[in-house]
Structure 1
Amino acid sequence: MNIRSLIKNPNNYIQKLKCRITRFVRVYKYSGDTVTCENCLWLGQFFFNGECPKCKSLPRTRLIPFSIDYFKLKSKNLSILHVAPNLTEYNGVQFKLEQVKQYDRLDIKPIKHVNLIEDLSNLTLNDESYDLAIIWHVFEHIEEDLKAISEVYRVLRPGGKLLMSVPIYPNGNLKTFEDKAILYKDYGHTHGHYDHCRSCGLDYYKRFESFGFSTETLNVNALNDDLILKYGLSKGHTVWCFTK
């Protein structure tokens, strides 16, 4: 924070500083061997309301490195396309997938840790450019999701993988629901979030299969409770690993 911001918002600065100090203390005070954050490899006694005190990862964030292992996606010299990662996700993937050949981070708007500014529904990227795409809680925001799926399929090499998750809303929802007549101001009431244009169901993977992907599924509900506790995951999350 610069001096001008500090002078203008001293209380905000103090609150952020307190949070940083609290996390720093928790990292060391509550170290242990009960839980493991695969996003940063912190070992602790428990997560704090689901958050890792070291890297601030949440259950859905930690599910990315867990899924990389679950679907055996670790390999050297991968070319990776990561769509709309937040900073914690970006750091976690870098930590998990070492010695990659290429790691592009794509978003529709400029962000510090993003190197490609692109519209996922209308990419300018070359055909068959990537071995792995990671798209985490993104498709529920995209109105023309079929175009985006087609584009991802196009830029993946034959045999390439797409690691993908969307929020299932409401929890356990079997059938995807959307209605283009619903106004943006009503998204929150209908889809559970102000910027979600559909309520994704457990059938959402079928849209990807219609373009030629084959599917593997990870339902966190089906995992052992001890495993869920150890890695700080949340029941109700679903991950699909698609193969071109």
Structure 2
Amino acid sequence: MTTSTTGTTARQGAAGAAGRPGTGPGRSADGGLRWCPACGDEASAYGPGPRGRPDAACPRCRALERHRFLSLVLDGLAPRLALASLVVDVAPSRPVAQQLRRLCPQGYLGVDFDPGADGRAVDVRASLTDLPLADGSVDLLVAYHVLEHVPDDAAAMREVARVLKPGGLALLQVPWAPGRATDEDPDASADERVRRFGQADHVRMYGHDVEDRLRAAGLDVARMTPVDWLGDDGAALMHLWPEESSWVVTPTTSADGVGRHRGVLAGGTSPGGLAGALVRSRAATAEATARRAEAEERGDAVRRDLAAARARVARLEDEVRAARKESARWRRAYERLRGRLPVRVAAGAARGARGLGRAVGALRAVPR
């Protein structure tokens, strides 16, 4: 099952779900630095996404905009997932699958109808219209960019309602153009599908009636967007499409109802709790980065001091070698002088003796 490329990002962004200007990914307030909640990495720019879409994929984990927001939502669900017995990930993406396996190692199940199409590794090969699961057995189901591939999406939606536990959640995302009704044609040619639905393996483009379809299948529905949960600055920090919509759904028979799931996703608090968690995570990341920079600066200073000390030692060694050479030169000169000194003394003594003899002879010749 192939994931959407032009899908939600292009269609939802162009539609402007809430009529906000600037529906593309924003620039963060700290000069364009981006933070990826899927892997915790920071980068000044992202790599290209599907079909070369610029500045879309985290350079470390390759998470796209929708994966980064979903990752943060799943972090908000961590307390619930720690107690979950079964989490179903339909057409799993690598960053999300890794996170879900970490959050729910005892109950993760990856499912895809055609895993070979994208080289996915899954636990079960099955269609979303016919999951090999018991009624009311699933705590969380994730199906991002799946329903637009399914010819009978009504059957898939009913299957989601069937397998979810009372109070269980499903997180869904589809290509969406809210300004019109759903356009679908499973029998359309590949070229026609690209033109109408954005991709050759899509059979529809969802419109404003997508929530009615979900409700008709027995699901309560709430829509969420990055800007609603994180604000403009939070969405820009992770380089998200602010109005890219996802849906959290739960069986209609659930006692708590989907309206409360905003609090659940925020760790039991208001939507601001999730933004607060983002701010705390960002602050922790900034603090760790500052500590690392400080440690690197101290290391650089130590390395500079060590290099200076080595240079001083080298200079002293040069001075010692020069002093030794000078000492050897003076020693050789001294030895030469020492060898010549007795000869000079003897010659002087002889000259003195001869002078004394002449003086004595002169005295004897004087008349008395």
Is 2:193–2:203's contact at 8 Å kept on the other side of the alignment? yes
Q: After superposition, what is the alpha-carbon deviation per residue over 1:192-219, rounded to whole angstroms, capped at 9, x for unaligned? A: 1111101112431221111221112113
**Which residue of structure 2 aligns with residue 14 of structure 1?**
none
Q: Give RMSD over aligned pairs.
A: 2.4
Q: Hey, what does 2:74 align to over in structure 1?
A: 68
Residue in 2 aligned with 1:163? Answer: 171
Amino acid of the residue matched to residue 144 of structure 1? D
Q: What is the match of residue 212 of structure 2? A: 206
Distance 1:73 1:214, change over 3 A: farther
Q: Which residue of 2 aligns with 1:20?
A: none
Letter in 2 for 1:107: D
Taking the TM superposition and a 5 Å limit, the aligned residue runs for 1:21-60 are: 34-48=33-47, 49-60=55-66
Alpha-carbon offset, residue 74 of structure 1: 4.3
Instruction: Give the deviation of 1:226 after TM superposition.
Output: 0.9
Letter in 2 for 1:38: P
1:77–1:100 CA contact under 8 A, matched in 2: no
Larger Rg: 2
Determine whether 1:135 maps to 2:135: no
Q: Which runs of 4+ in 1 moved over 6 A?
A: none
Normalised to the residue count of structure 2, the TM-score between the two structures is 0.52
Structure 1: give runs of 5+ residues left out of the alignment. Answer: 1-31
For residues 34 and 94 of structure 2, the distance between their equivalents in structure 1, rounded to whole angstroms, comes to 22
- For 1:77 and 1:33, locate their aligned partners in 2 and report how far apart those are by CA, in whole Å: 38
Amino acid at match of 1:195: D
**Shift of the alpha carbon at 1:88?**
3.0
Q: Compared with structure 1, are the counterparts of its residues 73 and 137 closer, same or farther at alpha carbon in structure 2 (3 Å cutoff)?
A: farther
Distance 1:118 1:61 in 2: 23
8 A Cα contact 1:50 1:59, kept in partner = yes
CA distance in 2, matches of 1:226, 1:112: 34
Q: Does 1:118 align with 2:126?
A: yes
Pick closer, same or farther for the CA change 1:164–1:243 going to 2, 3 Å.
Answer: same
SS at match of 1:217: strand
For structure 1, which segment, 126-135 or 107-116, has the greater mean C-alpha deviation from structure 2 after superposition?
107-116
Task: Look up the match of 1:22.
Answer: none
User: 1:180 Cα deviation (Å)?
Assistant: 4.5
Name structure 2 gaps, 5 residues minimum: 1-30, 48-54, 252-368
Q: Secondary structure at the match of 2:183?
A: coil
The one of 225, 230, 239 aligned to 1:232: 239
Post-superposition offset of 1:240: 0.5
Matched residues in 1 for 2:215 and 2:194: separation?
A: 28
Alpha-carbon contact 1:67-1:239 (below 8 Å) kept: no
The corresponding residue for 1:18 is none
Question: Partners in 2 of 1:190 and 1:211 — Cα distance?
Answer: 25
Whether the 8 Å contact between 2:164 and 2:250 is mirrored in structure 1 is: no
The amino acid of 1:103's aligned partner reads Y
Determine what percentage of the aligned residue pairs are the same residue. Answer: 28
Task: Report the CA distance shift for 1:181/1:195 in structure 2 as closer, same or farther (over 3 A).
Answer: closer
Q: Is the 8 A contact 2:232 2:242 kept in 1?
A: no
Residues 142-196 of structure 1: per-residue CA shift (max 9 Å, x gap): 1111111111111111111010011224xx5442122355334410011111111
Q: Which of 164, 189, 192 is 1:186 aligned to? A: 192
In the alignment, structure 1 residue 91 sits paired with structure 2 residue 90: no
C-alpha distance in 2 between matches for 1:227 and 1:203? 29
Residues 57 and 63 in structure 2, CA contact (< 8 A), matched pair in contact too: yes
1:167–1:237 contact (8 Å) kept in structure 2: no
CA contact (8 A) 2:161 2:250 kept: no
CA distance in 2: counterparts of 1:226 and 1:46, whole angstroms: 16
AA partner of residue 105 (structure 1) = G
Which structure has the highest helix share of the two?
Answer: 2
Distance 1:209 1:243, change over 3 A: same
TM-score (norm 1): 0.76
CA contact (8 A) 1:214 1:242 kept: yes
Name the CA distance, whole Å, in 1 between partners of 2:79 and 2:209. 27
Aligned residues: 208
SS in 2 for 1:224: helix
Distance in 2 (CA, whole Å) between partners of 1:112 and 1:186 is: 27
Q: Which deviates further from its counterpart, 176-185 or 140-149?
A: 176-185
